[in-house]
Amino acid sequence: MKKLVNKKDCGNRSVSQERGVIKTHNGMFHSDEVFAIALIKAYIAMIDNNGDILYNYDVVRTRDDSFKADITIDVDGVYDEDRLMFDHHQDSYNGSLSSVGMVAKYITEKLGVQLKSRLLDFITELDTNDTGVKRSDSYIINIVRKMNYPDVHSTEQNSAFKRAVQYAERVIYRMQSEKDTTVTNDMIGYAIATEPVMNCFHCGYESSPVEVQLGINDRKRKELAKYIDKAIGNAEVDKETLKEIDGIVLRFKKDDEYVPVRYLIGKADVAIQFDYNDDCWVIQTVPVSIRNYYSRVLLKPTADAFFTHKNGFISKSSTPNFSYVINTQPYTA
């Protein structure tokens, strides 16, 4: 029986011209088996009976029980890691994983493949969608579904499946290329804002201030300090003190990393970060949901801003100074 191995652990083994065989079901394909096979092709090699390495795979799409493959995905009603069989449809399996979750669990726990949190979260979304726990409206899942050929039993469907796996490999590569980001609240200060913004808090807009999250490193901290000092006269103010002051809460990150606004959902309404590629400050509104572009505030142009989008969701400026208004449009989920 052939053995799977992390591609990083192949060493100096001889490379075999033989190809591994992956079996999955025919007919309409779904994101779970598409991404399961893409994970294997991206990270896993196979050691044959002679100890040689196989890097390539052929995929056979059939429900014929008599056809045996090196790896079986989403078909044949068996979940057995030792036999490299990953199906979740059988009554004997009571877990929450789909075939992609099963493969991800195996390659991370048994083969030491390291998957980024963004990809692991997406795999969980694939699992809950495929097993009917929670329907996903992910555009990626929708794209894979629409890649099915109109006649799913035609010969063209196999080519469509191959294209879907290639697409899934590109998605995996993109997610793995992103840096994992943990937003911390280790430093807190105040941001300067124009008077109309500050006044909005005295007009009864909820009871809590609009929150602003900042990603910045030490190289830009001194530049920002004058704005903080101008706003409250002291950048070293603690959380309890801030709660008693009307204004805009500003959170700092200490490192260089540019934080995608999706990491700030539920944590802030505005993100201020310095973009070293464009050599400017970037101010962005944070949406209320990862599934919705709606934000509680809209940015307004300032004298320091050289670009502010007409829809008010992003502004680029020579300083971290900014202005906004409360979004009066009704929120629709």
Q: Could you read off the pLDDT of 87-142 as tens digits, one per residue?
A: 999 999 999 999 999 999 999 999 999 999 889 999 999 999 999 998 888 889 99
Same-domain pairing of 35 and 171: yes
Same-domain pairing of 167 and 93: yes
Adjacency order of strands within the sheet including 57-61: 57-61, 20-24, 71-73, 85-86, 79-80
Same-domain pairing of 10 and 47: yes
Residue 333 lies in a domain: no
In DSSP notation, 65-77 reads TT---SEEES-SS
Last residue of a domain, one of 177, 212, 243: 177
Same-domain pairing of 9 and 156: yes
Domain containing 52 equals 3-177
Whether the model clears a pTM of 0.75, i.e. scores above it, the answer is: no
CA distance 174 to 170: 6
Same-domain pairing of 8 and 136: yes
Same-domain pairing of 157 and 251: no
- Give me the number of domains the chain comprises: 2
Q: Considering only CA atoms, which of 92, 56, 88 is closest in space to residue 75?
A: 88
**DSSP H or E run through 79:** strand 79-80
Residue 332 lies in a domain: no
Same-domain pairing of 316 and 208: yes
Same-domain pairing of 158 and 259: no
CA distance 23 to 186: 50
- Please give the C-alpha separations between residue 257 and each of 47, 189, 198, in angstroms, as whole numbers: 39, 19, 29
- Tens digit of pLDDT at every position of the chain (333 positions): 788 999 999 878 888 888 999 999 999 999 999 999 999 999 999 998 888 999 999 999 999 999 999 999 999 999 999 999 999 999 999 999 999 999 999 999 999 999 998 899 999 999 999 999 988 888 899 999 999 999 999 999 999 999 999 999 999 998 888 765 443 333 233 333 332 232 222 222 232 334 444 444 444 444 444 444 443 333 333 333 333 333 334 443 334 445 567 766 766 677 777 776 677 778 888 887 777 778 888 888 888 899 999 888 898 888 777 777 777 887 776
Same-domain pairing of 146 and 10: yes
Structure tokens at 47: 């050691």
Same-domain pairing of 106 and 203: no
For 61-81, b where at least 16 C-beta lie within 10 A, e where not — what string? beeeeeeebbbbbbbbeebee
Same-domain pairing of 299 and 234: yes
Residue 28 lies in a domain: yes
